[in-house]
Structure 1
Amino acid sequence: MRGAGARLVRAQWAPLAALAALTFVAAVLCVAVPSRTAGGYDRAAVAAVGQDADIRVQGTAKGTTAFSAVPSEAALDSNGIAWRDLLPGALRRATGEAEPSATTDGDNLEGHYSKPRILYLGWVPGAQRRIRMVSGAEPYNKPGATSGDMQIMVSRKYADQLGYKVGDTMVMGAFTLRITGLFEPTDPTDQYWGPRARILHSVIEFLPNSNIQVDAGTALIDRPAYARLTTNPDLALNFSWRFPIRRDAVSAGDARAMGRELDAYRSAVAGRSDMFHCEVRTLLDNRLEEFDARLHVAQSVLGLAFGGLVAVAAGVLLLAAGLLGERLRPILGLMRARGASLRQLAVPGCGPPTLAVVPAAGLGYAVGRLLDQGPPQASSIYALCVLVAAVLFISAAIVWRERGGGLGAAATQRDDLGTARPSRWRFALDTVLVVLAVIGVVLLRRRGPEAGGDPLIAAVPVLLGVALGALVLRVYPYLLRVGQPFLRRRKGAVAFLGLARAARQNLVGALPVVVLLLAAAVAGFTATVDTALRTGQVRASWAETGAEARIEAGTLDEAGLRRLRAVPGVTEALRVRVINTATAGGNTAPITVVGLDLDAYRRLAPDVPDIPDGKVLATPLAVRTMGGRTATLSRSGMDPTRVTVAAEINRFPGQDTNSAFVVVPDTMVATATGFPSQVFVFGKVNGTALRAAAPGRDVVVRQDVLRDMTRLPLVSVVHDTFLGGALIGGAFGLLAVLFVLVVGARARARTIAHLRAVGLSRRQSRALALVEIAPVLLCATAAGWVLGLLLPEITGPVVDLRPYTGGYAVTAHVPDLPALLGLVGALLLAAAAAVAVDRAFDAHPGTVLRSGDS
């Protein structure tokens, strides 16, 4: 039997090579696509964290309390080590070493300056290790001194900006400060200086609770000066241990864990009892929370697409293995008829496919890793094992099929789709597939958004696609039969012959229906969700801006409004009067009154969502605050205004969501004066021209808001993966069609030669090739495309794109024109492949028919 297996490999080298090539390509994609997506997740996590991210442990202490907790630089560093030891795993991996400092509050410098000046005194050992002196010397304060000048050093840039030099003195409260040296950073590009700009140069700050600008800077002091500061029991010192985020150490998984660990770290810091109270401050909370929500959606949506792609690849491999089995069937049947056992058939039946598939899968995995698209994923190995197991299962089924007979059984059995009656086993299998698909959908919708990256998500579209494919295969013969009576009456024979040949295909030959259906479902799903995402972001940009641009105009007069309307491209500028802190009756809770011409606004901005009809609109909170839908609103500078709420609203551009505000016609607040205004600008807006026409005003341009949304971390990952998934699914679908065409090309060429002998022309043979493949293409792509369009609705809460659209719900949409053109292009390519194969295997009747053939 070993020799028989070798002869089989030599005889069937072409389909075995095709099976190996398909396995290799599928293995590479199983590794590269998930790794590339995971790498995109990691890059998105780094972008979400931001360049200025850090974790700070901060506390304030005075006098002996401060000195007893931090008497020296060693104590400052050891406390940093202690804070780092409290960091949980993911936070510890993502953060660098502690950067400690002790700094006074900013205090005014005495003197007459064009702009007030405040100075911070900072004991920052890390900064002193990153500078070099360019003039003078480092400060040296006598240990234990409590009087006299305190020596400090400042940066040369700060001194040049404010006119200081070595030897100058400054008076700050009870201290006289003398500059002993000027320094500059050893490496100005060092990330260490990012949050410490005051040390390197003067920065503009505002006095507390005022709009007064001041020049602020930080002077560096030594440890004896710090000790001197602690002798003043009323002087507060701000201690900070900053842990910078190492962006190269942040991954998507770590970012998700970091968000959960921050609360635990806060509790650990607050629970430390051997020093003064400290707390954790960071900007990571909101950033990581938003990233986690977007990552959850991306993994859910892309999991659906990945599951479909694996199923398409498995379908193509099953098809290749099945067609190979059809070619082996006569040989195995002959061996069985000669007395070979099933065990003896296993070597020639399972050996060659195993030798083709297993090495190809291993090589494909290695090549996929060498491509280095991202971190390796366990899902790649699982998918690869599924593909290999599917092929080996088909090989085993080919051998098992010969258990009941030999060559005679193989020759007499007919399993044409158009005539064969499905067995009870196939009916039971179809029923199980439908039941599993329904159960999967029910469980998925019941679990809702919590399903996340659960394997159930990836399984549901596959179950639906396979169940729908089984139903299509069951209906497919009836569709062919329905058309035959009509085609018999037609003059030409091409359509009738093509449909008849399509009906003569067996179940293996009809497997492209399932493969193409899954490929079309993946393409339809990705196109639908991608269009929904883009449409939702446009909708959200209108909701946030309220127009093509919104200007926070302050107290705007008519002249200012005319200047805005005169900006080139502006077609209309609608003023909105915003009256804050109005009250209703005896309730002192503040209500914001927004006055504008609602009718004109609805006409000018029809794309702004969730603006109901009615003259007066109010949020539910405002209605509760007013004590009902009718109330009198008033405040100083505004005449009492009685309003009757016609409809409730949750959002309005320029107002906080669900805050207490009432939108009224502008005529109701026309007499109110001294209140800030907003201006909604319409037309082809140029942000630069608008800012020039409204200097000093905050201008929000809708296109800028939309651009920021489309550049959110993970958005590009989702778009790119959708595009790649649609292309890969389409390529596998075309491969399935091409494989079936090539495998059956020689037998078809012989049949066509007979038909050519009785008058079929070359042109008619090409048309016959199209008619033969048309039922499979049309049934599969139509059913799959419809399933793809319905998948977002079927999966329900799993495809929730609100984290990408500013909280606005997004409904499924019909794919845009490029997606529809792509579908048509794929169908045309499949038709072109049928014609090309027909032409490549075309043969003259004289070279095919033998003497005596009829």
Structure 2
Amino acid sequence: MNRPLNRPWLRLARAQWPPIAAVAVLTLVTALLAVTVPARVAGGYDRAARATVAGADVRVEGRQDAATVARYLPLSDDVSVRSATWYGILPRHLSDAVGPPEPYVTTTENRIGGEFLEPRLVTLAWDPGATRRVRFVAGVPPQDMPSDSTPDHGRAVQIALPKPYADKFGYRVGTALPLGDLRATVSGIYVPRDAADPYWATRADLLRVRTELRGEGVRVHTGAALLSGGGYWRIAHGAPDRRLFVTWRFPLKPDGIDSARVSGLAGDIEAYHVAVKGRTDLFECAVATELDAPLKAYGGQLRSAKAVNGLTLSGVAAIAAGVLLLGAGLLGRRLRPALVTMRARGASLRQLAGPACGLLALAVLPAAALGAGLGLLLGTGPPQALSAYAAGGLVVLVLVLPVAVIVREFGGATQITAGRDDLVGARPSRRRLVLEGLLIVLAVTGVVLLRERGAGAGGDPLIAAVPVLLGAACGVVVLRVYPYLLAGLGRALRRGSGAVAFIGVARASRQNVVSALPMVVLLLAAAVAGFAGSVEAALDRGHDRAAWAAVGADARISAELLDQKAVDRVRAVPGVKDAVPARVVRAVRPASGPARVTLIAVDLDAYQRISPGRLPAHPRGALLSPAAARELGMRPMTLSSPNFPEIRVEPSGRIEDFPGEQHGGSFVVVPFRSLTGTEKVPSTVFVRGEPGEAALRGALEASLPPGTMGGDPYKKVEIRRDVLRGMTRAPMVRVVQDSFRDAALIGGAYGLLAVLLVLVVEARARGRGLAHLQVLGLTRRQSRRLALVEIGPVLLCAVGAGWALGLVLPGVTGPVVDLRPYTGGFAVSNHAVDPAALPALLAALLLAAAAAVAIDRAFDTRHDLAAVLRTGD
């Protein structure tokens, strides 16, 4: 009984299989992207969050004398038990993000007794976590010494030394080291099982020997040694004036970190500071972490990324919706003759909605489920609720569309009258005018709200929809102007001798509103591509400016002090074209007042040569930062410090930033000639050219004063291109750049799909029209040209208007598109798109034109002209 009822549906589906298949493919792709793209972006946020906290920790630290520590924590077990107290008061986000506490206790530096030219210092550490992470290459771990009443045993401890420290000074197992009131015996020598373990980040001295200058140029060698639990008891109950550092370290677990938890960590760390400080049942402790600055930077980058990605992804969603509606509209257009016949025979609106909605449901629902399933299987990131909302909203929109169209066209009608509905001949209804006006008002309102609310408006859905609203409003304007352009072009071509151009424009002007929907889709796609390209170009310029601000030249080498011939050695390095010396002195002060500023002496003219535009033009004297100008004033002054003689400073202008100095810091730049005598010895050399880092590092080592080779903790080699590479490869920057690229590619692909969809679905009707023209003498070459002329106005108008809109969008959405978190605080105002993007735009246009020719060739009816002409006659 059911089989005959299904036959009309089967025949209808078989007859309309091209648009049904097209809608199914579009739905599958859209559902796949709706799941994978938000998940990919969220996964990028999480990876950036894990990179932000990688190797970091939160520590509870207390520094007290041995007597105080022994009173509260007499045994090493008491230190471990206390871990539960600190773990129990961790706030929720912080508790989920950290691992079990790792307690350890260290002493201040102990001088090894003996006659040495250079002092040897060792720090004693009770650290059970470190003991489990080392491998002994000689001897055994330190053991608890026998407990008896003899004075010697009361002061005796066993220690384990890192291999670099033992090898440097020739210490072996069994060596006795006098350490003040302690007599230490080396029980073993160890190396780390994994030197890259983040555990060693705050315990570097347990693995190395550190050599540095102290006092009047004296080299001091420092290391650390491991103790047993009994050794802890002896140092805690030994000399009462000995200082001990008691630390409970909470390592962050990368597996438990995501963007949501990292966003809450900053507040939790602040709350933990207060909670630890408020404990009165132990000696005073405080929370220490290196996460404050990274978390602040990540929070700013995350807000900016969500705002920018919200703008681009909303545009992509609108493009996908437009393409799906286009597919559904083309299917409805193919069904219209059948629906007209059914209505003429007395079918109700419900009966009309059956085949229209049924065929769409047949195409959309299985494809949407399959696309969503494939997206989940790909596992590009954590599933997002936004994906379900987007995919479900698009499916509902497509299924509701035929109902709305049927009600509008057939509601209350008893007769169907034909009339022109093309772009040139159709006259807009009042309802359409009201909707278009409302759309323009919404777009203007969104822009006004965005400008007023600033960077904090990035998460507002209305703000995120501003590019879509502006694109739709621009599309309305283009659709209004487009018919007049075609009409004017047709009148101009009517007087020409060639027929192809005139016929092509005439056929283009006969396209109805459904066929013009690709114009809006193409416009939005071009706008998204232009917006992404311009913002990415601005981000690249901001990175370049930040890299220049960090290094100050192509390269820079710096140390506490270099020798007189440092610049000559640097100039001799292959690849170096020029080098300029500078001297940086910290904490200089005026003759009166509490101000402390940094003094930078550099040859201003020479620096202008290697880094043009970084300093004010033709400075006559000293340049002061805004902070220094506020603290010191702009009158002549004298600056000095305990280690630097007086220098006369005559301000001549201001400078906002200088390489190596914090943005907004207090510093003074003076000409290098102001220095005299030994003060002219440089501490920094700015380099122009492309030298290798190894060569520059060798020149730096050779330029250090005698006796400090490898011992200057301030020495540093920075190369601008490496700094720039590090900025561009930062995790959150990669997320934003990948989002820009994906948005441009997806938008372009959808735009091309829209063109192909119209061309393929309308190929049969176009073939019938060309068949009549071929009877009149239209050649094959002319038909190819005709295909280009027909699609040309749509492509040029839509892509041109969309590209122009995309270029102005960064200026319109300026308060939301805040790139300063990625550029070291430098504002980016130049959003000019990279010229390299123009060939890509031209290639996309050529690809669309080639698709038109290819489809014209595929559906060429010349070989069966008689059959085509008989069809429909």
Q: Which amino acid aligns with 1:698?
A: K
Per-residue deviation at 1:8?
2.6
Q: Which amino acid aligns with 1:315?
A: G
Q: How does 1:146-295 map to 2 (within 5 A)?
A: 147-149=151-153, 150-155=156-161, 157=163, 159-180=166-187, 192-193=199-200, 195-199=202-206, 202-204=209-211, 212-223=219-230, 225-226=232-233, 229-230=236-237, 232-295=239-302
Counterparts of 1:32 and 1:785 in 2: how far apart (Å)?
26
Asked if 2 retains the 8 angstrom alpha-carbon contact of 1:67 and 1:230, the reply is: yes
Q: Which stretch has the larger CA shift, 809-818 or 523-532? A: 809-818
1:761 maps to which residue? 779
How far does the alpha carbon of each residue in 1:409-439 deviate from its partner, in whole angstroms, 9 at most, with x for none?
2x51321101111111111011111111111
Q: How does 1:247-646 map to 2 (within 5 A)?
A: 247-404=254-411, 408-409=415-416, 411-552=417-558, 559-578=565-584, 586-587=592-593, 589-606=595-612, 608=614, 611=616, 614-616=619-621, 617-627=623-633, 629-635=634-640, 641=648, 643-645=650-652
2:27 maps to which residue? 23
Per-residue deviation at 1:595?
4.1
2:839 maps to which residue? 821
Asked if 2 retains the 8 angstrom alpha-carbon contact of 1:638 and 1:671, the reply is: no
How far does the alpha carbon of each residue in 1:244-276 deviate from its partner, in whole angstroms, 9 at most, with x for none?
111222112222211221101111111112111
Task: Choose from 832, 837, 847 the match for 2:866.
Answer: 847
Per-residue deviation at 1:75?
3.0
Q: Secondary structure at the match of 1:685?
A: coil
Counterparts of 1:354 and 1:288 in 2: how far apart (Å)?
48
Per-residue deviation at 1:96?
0.8
Distance 1:189 1:759, change over 3 A: closer
Q: Secondary structure at the match of 1:797?
A: coil
Per-residue deviation at 1:190?
5.7
Q: Secondary structure at the match of 1:215?
A: strand
Asked if 1 retains the 8 angstrom alpha-carbon contact of 2:563 and 2:681, the reply is: no
Q: Which stretch has the larger CA shift, 494-503 or 120-129? A: 120-129
Counterparts of 2:430 and 2:571 in 1: how far apart (Å)?
76
Aligned pair count reads 849
Q: Which amino acid aligns with 1:340?
A: A
Q: Which amino acid aligns with 2:348?
A: S
1:122 maps to which residue? 125
How far does the alpha carbon of each residue in 1:330-381 deviate from its partner, in whole angstroms, 9 at most, with x for none?
1112112211111222221212212221221121111001001111111111
Q: Which stretch has the larger CA shift, 183-192 or 419-428? A: 183-192
1:801 maps to which residue? 819
Distance 1:582 1:87, change over 3 A: closer
Gaps of 5+ in 1: none
Asked if 2 retains the 8 angstrom alpha-carbon contact of 1:4 and 1:348, the reply is: no
Counterparts of 2:240 and 2:670 in 1: how far apart (Å)?
56
Distance 1:522 1:673, change over 3 A: same
Asked if 2 retains the 8 angstrom alpha-carbon contact of 1:155 and 1:201, the reply is: no
Asked if 1 retains the 8 angstrom alpha-carbon contact of 2:142 and 2:227, the reply is: no
The TM-score with structure 2 as length reference comes to 0.91
Let me know the Cα RMSD of the aligned residues. Answer: 2.9
1:650 maps to which residue? 656
Q: Secondary structure at the match of 1:788?
A: helix
Task: Choose from 788, 791, 794 the match for 1:776.
Answer: 794
Q: Secondary structure at the match of 2:650?
A: strand
Per-residue deviation at 1:203?
4.7
Identity of aligned residues (%): 48
1:687 maps to which residue? 693
Asked if 2 retains the 8 angstrom alpha-carbon contact of 1:94 and 1:245, the reply is: yes
Asked if 2 retains the 8 angstrom alpha-carbon contact of 1:143 and 1:224, the reply is: no
Distance 1:626 1:239, change over 3 A: closer
Counterparts of 1:387 and 1:726 in 2: how far apart (Å)?
20
Q: Which stretch has the larger CA shift, 315-324 or 193-202? A: 193-202
Q: Does 1:88 align with 2:88?
A: no
Distance 1:315 1:208, change over 3 A: farther
Q: Secondary structure at the match of 1:508?
A: helix
Q: Which amino acid aligns with 2:97?
A: A
Counterparts of 2:48 and 2:255 in 1: how far apart (Å)?
12
How far does the alpha carbon of each residue in 1:316-338 deviate from its partner, in whole angstroms, 9 at most, with x for none?
00000011111111111211221
Q: Secondary structure at the match of 1:102?
A: strand
Per-residue deviation at 1:586?
4.5
Counterparts of 1:725 and 1:303 in 2: how far apart (Å)?
11
Distance 1:33 1:146, change over 3 A: farther
Q: Which amino acid aligns with 1:542?
A: W
Per-residue deviation at 1:80?
0.9
Asked if 1 retains the 8 angstrom alpha-carbon contact of 2:273 and 2:287, the reply is: yes
Asked if 1 retains the 8 angstrom alpha-carbon contact of 2:693 and 2:719, the reply is: yes
Per-residue deviation at 1:391?
0.5
Distance 1:561 1:848, change over 3 A: same
Counterparts of 1:189 and 1:648 in 2: how far apart (Å)?
45
1:34 maps to which residue? 38
Per-residue deviation at 1:153?
3.5
Q: Which amino acid aligns with 1:93?
A: D
Per-residue deviation at 1:285?
0.8
Q: Which stretch has the larger CA shift, 583-592 or 29-38? A: 583-592
Asked if 1 retains the 8 angstrom alpha-carbon contact of 2:70 and 2:236, the reply is: no
Asked if 1 retains the 8 angstrom alpha-carbon contact of 2:640 and 2:646, the reply is: yes
Q: Which amino acid aligns with 2:176?
A: T
Task: Choose from 662, 669, 674 the match for 1:663.
Answer: 669
Q: Which amino acid aligns with 1:317?
A: L
Q: Secondary structure at the match of 1:809?
A: coil
Counterparts of 2:70 and 2:560 in 1: how far apart (Å)?
49
Asked if 1 retains the 8 angstrom alpha-carbon contact of 2:554 and 2:687, the reply is: yes
Per-residue deviation at 1:33?
1.2
Distance 1:640 1:267, change over 3 A: closer
Counterparts of 1:340 and 1:293 in 2: how far apart (Å)?
60
2:758 maps to which residue? 740
Per-residue deviation at 1:794?
0.6
Q: Secondary structure at the match of 2:514?
A: coil
Counterparts of 1:575 and 1:188 in 2: how far apart (Å)?
37
Q: Secondary structure at the match of 2:483?
A: helix
Counterparts of 1:596 and 1:692 in 2: how far apart (Å)?
23
Q: Which stretch has the larger CA shift, 386-395 or 230-239? A: 230-239
Per-residue deviation at 1:717?
1.7
2:711 maps to which residue? none
Q: Which stretch has the larger CA shift, 35-44 or 512-521? A: 35-44
Q: Which amino acid aligns with 2:802?
A: G
Q: Which stretch has the larger CA shift, 42-51 or 317-326? A: 42-51
Per-residue deviation at 1:809?
1.2
Per-residue deviation at 1:768?
0.8
Q: Which amino acid aligns with 1:22?
A: L
Distance 1:850 1:353, change over 3 A: closer
Q: Which stretch has the larger CA shift, 170-179 or 98-107? A: 170-179
Distance 1:164 1:624, change over 3 A: closer
Q: Secondary structure at the match of 2:382?
A: coil
Q: Which stretch has the larger CA shift, 196-205 or 346-355? A: 196-205
Counterparts of 1:192 and 1:554 in 2: how far apart (Å)?
30
Q: Which amino acid aligns with 2:843?
A: G
Per-residue deviation at 1:183?
6.1
